[in-house]
Structure 1
Amino acid sequence: MLTQTEKKQVVVVLGGYGNFGKRICHELAQNASIRVIIAGRNQKKASLLQVALKKEFPQSDVETLVLDRKNNNFKEKLIDCKATILVHTAGPFQNQDYLIADFCIEAKINYVDIADSREYVVNIKSLNEKASENRVVVISGASSVPGLASTVIDGFALKFSTLLNIDFGISPGNKVERGLGTLRSVFDYVGKPFLQLNNGKWQTVYGWQQMHRQYFGDNIGMRWQSCCDVPDLELLPQRYPKLLSAKFYAGLEIGFLHLMLWKMSWLVRWKFIKNLSYFAGGIEKISFLFKKMGTPKGGMYVHLYGTDFQYQPYEIQWNLVAESAHGLNIPIIPALIIIKKMLNQELESGARPCTNLFSLDEFDVFAKKWNIYHTTSERQM
């Protein structure tokens, strides 16, 4: 508990009533030493969440704030509410600029987002000099990728003399709540070209193609996967110069739904459709017709291949399982860890992607609150 002389730290969650933002607010509201501000353009949605959180946590300090990054008073409102940290969850981040992060730097407010846009996360370092001069921490991509993925890869990379190939992916359960922002983020690169490191060469591939089946462990089994564009595809070769291949995949649990999206990717690739994200709202409504199918189980895998310190072929397979529809908590855990570190002043000033900023043990502290667990298998070939 705070004494009368102590001041609460204020965490503003932009998009705080969204699919991921509301989960971050729910976790932060349990800490009475933090003032949580649910921010966004929709006052009604923010107020409904505020009432629900106050009812569940009577000792919580939760407020709302109408905040629109397109309004001229955005920066002034942040300063007026005495924000310590701004958590940006209002995606999709594709085609967003750094206006919000820039405002935070000027106002000396720490910034963290859950972006998975390759360009957005990779180029956040362009703000590093300004953030360092203002002694502000700016972290982008505090989510499943690159946040959690980089933690897993960095932890196991120490077991390799040379890490050659990395492929990893995710598959949410069909009975897990889906958000429009997430769909738009995925659909934005469906059928679109992007570069991927394959056998030592950069090759052009297309979003949601290269369809195949992937094993996610005994509790989930085999699921369809297709290639996706994420920041890690650019960050990993920078971190591991000897890497020959880096590939990321994602997929839908229901096979025919995955197949439908694969077919749509060709319409975009052949330029019959400019951008599938324009149809995200309609596709979201159609998807609700199938919400009773499938399971509430989601998963993530990381497969590493290279040579061990006896120069023998060596591989590691890491599988994560989220049961009971708890998979939506996976992307917010890296953000919660970063918020905690910011509150405790454990991070150096500057702007950078969320890579190598926390350990798997720190992830497990949060993961054990939900039905989220992981297993590892290692094999010398």
Structure 2
Amino acid sequence: MTKKVLILGGRGRIGYSVALDIAKYTQAEITITGRTSRENYQDVALQYLTLDLAETEKLREIIPEYNLVVHCAGPFHLRDTQVLELCIDNGVNYIDISDHRSYTIKALKLNEKALNAGIIAVVNTGIFPGISNSMVRQCIEKLDIAEKIHLSYVVAGSGGAGITVMRTTFLGLQHPFDAWINGAWQQVKPYTARENINFPAPYGQSGVYWYDMPEAFTLPQAFPTVKTVITKFGSIPDFYNHLTWIAAHLFPKFWIQSSYGIEFLSQVSHLMTDVTDRLTGVGVAVRVEVSGIKDEQTSVATSNLFHENTAVAAGCGTGSIAQLILEDKLTQPGVLTVEEALSNHLFEQVMAQREIVIMPTN
């Protein structure tokens, strides 16, 4: 029988990239959802369903019809776990593109329920977190003991994504967050401690800053010998970094923490990237550095990735997890992060299919 996939938020740029990836690499029947009417949807290759996540009864009715639900309807700062819980209740596998600590914590608390239901649920798929987590696992398995993880991400302009990603960026500036540093949790202010990181071409030296990501706390849980996890993010062109720093540190706190302030900044940023994207492109680069011990000597393992379109790269990350679940190659039940769910062998296999090159530097 043809397997059926439901993609919530599939009208968005990342959700649509996920749909295209799954359509390319599987034989699944794909339905995407959006809040606008079916009359406004023209793509005949994918089925379409008008749906708002607030329509709980409608969700409860349709989810059992599918083999896999892919949750792409962010921002995840604002989401509860209703979709995941409905999947568990109905024995339907689940993945998402969640990218915020608060949502990940809530989802992982449902692990025992998912285990008892026998469903596979993988959270934080995409490019970062997602592909980046698997790059960390690759580096860790080159060492005997991993002690420190340093993750750096840079995105050009809008990244080819929609305004929801802008909202997510500014929502991430609202509060200090806990980081795992020298074996203890320490509070860090977002968009501080700039570093210039040498990314793959065409970006080269680019600035990155502390930024709250789910992998900041999931990686120490997955790899217990690790004593420090650093997650930093930056933008191209560099003046966006300075504008974001100003928003994080000079704007009145009540303004950056209000829905009006977030929406205003997001709309303005989106208009600006409409212009700068033509000059910078919409790519993404990831650099992973893991320090530790190899053959009783201090050692460092690093890897790099560049993709010309951030939204497409995120689609590849999530689509590859969907492909593996639909092919029964990922079978471990429970609520898992990517680094827990995906072996290096399977990761390398699906990246090679998509011609995504992970570049080790040692």
* TM-score of the two chains, using structure 2 as the length reference: 0.90
- State yes or no: 1:315 paired with 2:300: yes
Give, in whole Å, the separation in 2 of the partners of 1:159 and 1:32: 32
Amino acid aligned to 2:269: I
Give, in whole Å, the separation in 2 of the partners of 1:175 and 1:116: 16
Secondary structure of 1:172's counterpart equals strand
- Gaps in structure 2 of 5+ consecutive residues: none
- State yes or no: 1:182 paired with 2:168: no
Alignment check: 8 A CA contact 1:17 1:46 kept: no
1:182-261 to 2 correspondences below 5 Å: 182-261=165-244
- State yes or no: 1:329 paired with 2:312: yes
Change in Cα spacing, 1:38 to 1:240, as seen in structure 2 (3 Å) is closer
Query: 26, 36, 46: which one pairs with 2:30?
Result: 36
Structure 1 residue aligned with 2:276: 290
Alignment check: 8 A CA contact 1:154 1:356 kept: no
Q: How many correspondences in the alignment?
A: 358
Q: Which moved more, 1:283-292 or 1:9-18?
A: 283-292
Secondary structure of 2:73's counterpart equals coil
Change in Cα spacing, 1:341 to 1:256, as seen in structure 2 (3 Å) is same
Q: Which moved more, 1:70-79 or 1:213-222?
A: 70-79
Amino acid aligned to 1:220: Y
Give, in whole Å, the separation in 2 of the partners of 1:247 and 1:193: 14
Secondary structure of 2:19's counterpart equals helix
Query: 67, 78, 90: which one pairs with 2:51?
Result: 67
Change in Cα spacing, 1:149 to 1:45, as seen in structure 2 (3 Å) is farther
- State yes or no: 1:27 paired with 2:40: no
Query: 127, 130, 147: which one pairs with 2:110?
Result: 127
Structure 1 residue aligned with 2:152: 169
Alignment check: 8 A CA contact 1:200 1:244 kept: yes
Structure 1 residue aligned with 2:338: 354
Give, in whole Å, the separation in 2 of the partners of 1:25 and 1:241: 35
Deviations 1:257-301 (A, max 9, x none): 111111111035855532453331232123323232324543110
Query: 77, 87, 91: which one pairs with 1:94?
Result: 77
1:44-55 to 2 correspondences below 5 Å: 44=38, 47-48=41-42, 50-51=43-44, 54=45
Amino acid aligned to 2:145: T
Alignment check: 8 A CA contact 2:206 2:234 kept: yes
Amino acid aligned to 1:348: Q
Change in Cα spacing, 1:229 to 1:105, as seen in structure 2 (3 Å) is same
Give, in whole Å, the separation in 2 of the partners of 1:26 and 1:136: 24
Amino acid aligned to 1:347: T
Amino acid aligned to 1:293: L
Higher helix fraction: Structure 1 or Structure 2? 2
Give, in whole Å, the separation in 1 of the partners of 2:314 and 2:26: 24
Query: 65, 78, 92: which one pairs with 2:62?
Result: 78
Give, in whole Å, the separation in 2 of the partners of 1:46 and 1:206: 42
Amino acid aligned to 1:142: T
Report percent identity of matched pairs: 21
Change in Cα spacing, 1:130 to 1:45, as seen in structure 2 (3 Å) is farther
Q: Select the structure of larger CA radius of gyration.
A: 1
Q: CA deviation at 1:235?
A: 1.4
- Gaps in structure 1 of 5+ consecutive residues: 1-6, 55-61
Give, in whole Å, the separation in 2 of the partners of 1:46 and 1:359: 41
Change in Cα spacing, 1:269 to 1:140, as seen in structure 2 (3 Å) is farther
Give, in whole Å, the separation in 2 of the partners of 1:105 and 1:46: 32
- State yes or no: 1:9 paired with 2:29: no
Q: CA deviation at 1:46?
A: 6.6
Structure 1 residue aligned with 2:94: 111
Give, in whole Å, the separation in 2 of the partners of 1:31 and 1:321: 21
Using CA pairs under 8 Å that are at least 6 residues apart, name the structure with larger relative contact order, 1 or 2: 2
Amino acid aligned to 2:77: Q
Query: 287, 292, 300: which one pairs with 1:301?
Result: 287
Q: CA deviation at 1:255?
A: 1.0
Q: Which moved more, 1:137-146 or 1:219-228?
A: 137-146
Deviations 1:175-219 (A, max 9, x none): 742311111112111152001122333221112222221110344
Give, in whole Å, the separation in 1 of the partners of 2:25 and 2:291: 42
Alignment check: 8 A CA contact 1:190 1:268 kept: no
Alignment check: 8 A CA contact 2:107 2:335 kept: yes
Structure 2 residue aligned with 1:59: none
Alignment check: 8 A CA contact 2:111 2:336 kept: yes
Q: CA deviation at 1:154?
A: 1.8
- State yes or no: 1:278 paired with 2:272: no
Deviations 1:4-63 (A, max 9, x none): xxx221101111111111112122334683211011212358722x23xx3xxxxxxx31
Secondary structure of 2:161's counterpart equals coil
Give, in whole Å, the separation in 2 of the partners of 1:366 and 1:111: 19
Amino acid aligned to 1:241: P
Alignment check: 8 A CA contact 1:150 1:356 kept: no
